[in-house]
Amino acid sequence: MSVEIIKPGSNFNFIGNRRYAFLASGLLILASILSIVWHKGLNLGVDFRGGLLVQARFSDPEVNPDALRNALASLSVSSIQNFSAGGGNEYLIQLQNVEGSGDGTLIDLLKAALVENFGADGFEVRRQEMVGPKVGADLRQKALYAIYYAILMIIIYISGRFQQKWGMSILFAAILLGIVNLAGLFGLGVGYLIITALLVTIVTCYYMRFSFALGGIIALLHDVIITAGLFSILNKEITLSFVAAVLTIIGYSLNDSIIVFDRIRENLRRNRKLDYPILINQSINETLSRTILTSGTTVIALLSLYFLGGPVNRDFALAITVGIGVGTYSSIFIAAPILLLWEKKPSPHLIEDKPSGSKKGNGLEKRKGNSVPPEKSPA
């Protein structure tokens, strides 16, 4: 017996309200971009910027961020964050690499300043991490490429699976990869390069009628931008764990979108005469219970990790929790409705593509209750 929290036959008007959803998403994306611009970029952690990270515990409970900043005024302090757990007085101190000083010099200078202000027995260094500027730049570039390549492979998969355009999508991806690598040889910034490539990808998908791939890509970019924007608004650091969270969000959000896309294709074969907007809305409603249950149980586990997993896992859990919430929203209100942006009827191959083993017709019988009366059209 399956568990359902949405009654079978429900007909929420998602497609009819898609313009409000697009407006809300546009405002969230705009707020995210404005926050990133206001902060002059994302707050990159030591992983990507290079420098020294030290976790120190102080015996004096009166030690606070202001006292630490005064003590380390002669050093290039990037940030000081309270990292206390269980009543301890711990702080994460980050220092930027300064010209002419190596990592060893940086940690020595930090310890000397702490000893001078708090005494040799007044603190305990519990963790220290050092990343050189070249390593940080290399990690930053590879992280951007990882996200871009993940999205590019998604184009191939969705276009091939749902629109039977394997050859064209692979050729398109190969050309884009060649352009990116060629431009990289001329020293173009990887960030601007990938943003340009993604814009070219979206425009090309539009004109090549990769409708499902376009819906999936825009939904993924929607999720990533809003998640990054929230971290910018909260002024949280972007680290390798955040990149891992983003890649997880991409996979999770894509899975939700594919479930809806699969049901759309299935219903197209069952009822060819039903209006496309009504059919898409029906497909979203039929998968709604599964989507909410899956996302809800995952978020419960992530909230447990956020509140009980300690400070180290908190930002990672926050990123995935927000991403899954936004991803669930985008699979319902963004990915599927985008199919209607330029075509009010499905592509012919989606209807003509018959399941293997069918001998006549489309191999599937119409189910009662599948169609929605025209007067209740959500379009």
Give the rounded percent of residues in the chain with a pLDDT score beyond 70.
82
Q: For position 80, which CATH number holds?
A: 3.30.70.330
Looking at the structure, do residues 139 and 123 belong to the same domain, yes or no?
A: no
Looking at the structure, do residues 272 and 254 belong to the same domain, yes or no?
A: yes
Looking at the structure, do residues 122 and 156 belong to the same domain, yes or no?
A: no
Looking at the structure, do residues 90 and 214 belong to the same domain, yes or no?
A: no
Instruction: Report whether pLDDT(28) > 90.
Output: yes
Average pLDDT for 266-277: 84
Q: What is the DSSP letter of 9?
A: T
The count of structural domains within the chain is 2
Q: What is the pLDDT of residues 206-251, one digit of tens each?
A: 777 778 888 888 999 999 999 999 999 998 888 888 989 998 998 8
Looking at the structure, do residues 254 and 150 belong to the same domain, yes or no?
A: yes
How far is the C-alpha of 83 from the C-alpha of 90, rounded, in Å?
5
Binned at pLDDT 50, 70 and 90, residue 77 comes out as: confident
Looking at the structure, do residues 223 and 140 belong to the same domain, yes or no?
A: yes
How far is the C-alpha of 148 from the C-alpha of 140, rounded, in Å?
13
Looking at the structure, do residues 183 and 63 belong to the same domain, yes or no?
A: no
What local confidence, expressed as pLDDT, does residue 281 receive? 92
Instruction: Report whether pLDDT(325) > 90.
Output: yes
What local confidence, expressed as pLDDT, does residue 87 receive? 55
- Read off φ and ψ for residue 56, nearest 5 degrees: -125, 140
Amino acid letter for position 28 = L
Q: For position 298, which CATH number holds?
A: 1.20.1640.10
Range of the domain at 97: 51-131
* Residue 7 within a domain: no
Contact between 235 and 39 (Cβ < 8 Å): yes
Looking at the structure, do residues 28 and 147 belong to the same domain, yes or no?
A: yes
Looking at the structure, do residues 317 and 198 belong to the same domain, yes or no?
A: yes
